[in-house]
Structure 1
Amino acid sequence: MQNTRLNNLFEAIAKSLGQWFLNPWRRLSLLLISFLFGFFLGTAISTIAGQRGTLDIMVAGFLVALTEITSRIFYSRSFLARQALWVESLNLLKVGFIYSMFVEAFKLGS
């Protein structure tokens, strides 16, 4: 990329955020927020998709594909040696989402 002011600004912001999240408590709080947001997404998507009932199979297939892609990213060997923060937060978002789907299934009794 060209060395523009906007590019320099984005690099500086990314570097300062990376330094800010090196603190273990901040990192843990971000991962916890990702898990809880995944739980919220699972509850919201299940209620929204269940309202109409016409696209249940398509939505379920799309959600399964997204969770499998996320698992492929997290458990690939290239990311295993270097766990990036965005990969860990994406994985915890997925875990919260799947946990929420199980809770919704138990609520419905299916």
Structure 2
Amino acid sequence: MQNTRLNRLVTVINALLRRWLLNPWRRISLLIISLLFGFALALAISAIAGQNANIDVTVALMVSILVEGVNWLAYSSPNRLRQSFWVENLNALKMGLCYGLFLLAFMLGS
């Protein structure tokens, strides 16, 4: 690939982000933010699907496919990919989503 300005900019930003994420507290804080965003996403999904009762099955199918895809990516891939920051964040988002949906199901008694 040619060494264009955009290519160099992306490389520099990637290196700065990687160096910034070496601090464990920053990494943990971003994982907690992903977990809480997944919980908020669960609340939004259930509210949107609950408004229009005829799309509940479709939304449940899409969430199940998303959760299984993230599980496959996070747990059946090689160790290097499993420890990737983006995969860890996606897995935290998935955990927050599942926890939020379970909590809402228990609150509604269904």
TM class by smaller structure? over 0.9
Code of the residue aligned with 1:48 in structure 2: it is I
**What is the number of residues matched between the two proteins?**
109
Gaps of 5+ in 1: none
Taking the aligned partners of 2:98 and 2:4, their CA distance within structure 1 comes to: 42
Confirm whether residue 55 of structure 1 aligns to residue 55 of structure 2.
yes
Indicate the residue corresponding to 1:87 in structure 2.
87
Indicate the residue corresponding to 1:68 in structure 2.
68
In the superposition, the TM-score normalised over structure 2's length comes to: 0.95
Q: Any idea what the Cα deviations from partners look like across 1:44-76, whole Å, max 9, x if unmatched?
A: 111111101111111110110000000000002
How well do the aligned residues superpose, as a CA RMSD in angstroms? 1.0
Gaps of 5+ in 2: none
Taking the aligned partners of 1:108 and 1:51, their CA distance within structure 2 comes to: 15
Paired-residue identity, %: 52
Q: Any idea what the Cα deviations from partners look like across 1:73-96, whole Å, max 9, x if unmatched?
A: 000241x24501111010000000
In the superposition, the TM-score normalised over structure 1's length comes to: 0.95
- 1:1-110 correspondence runs (5 A): 1-78=1-78, 80-82=79-81, 83-110=83-110
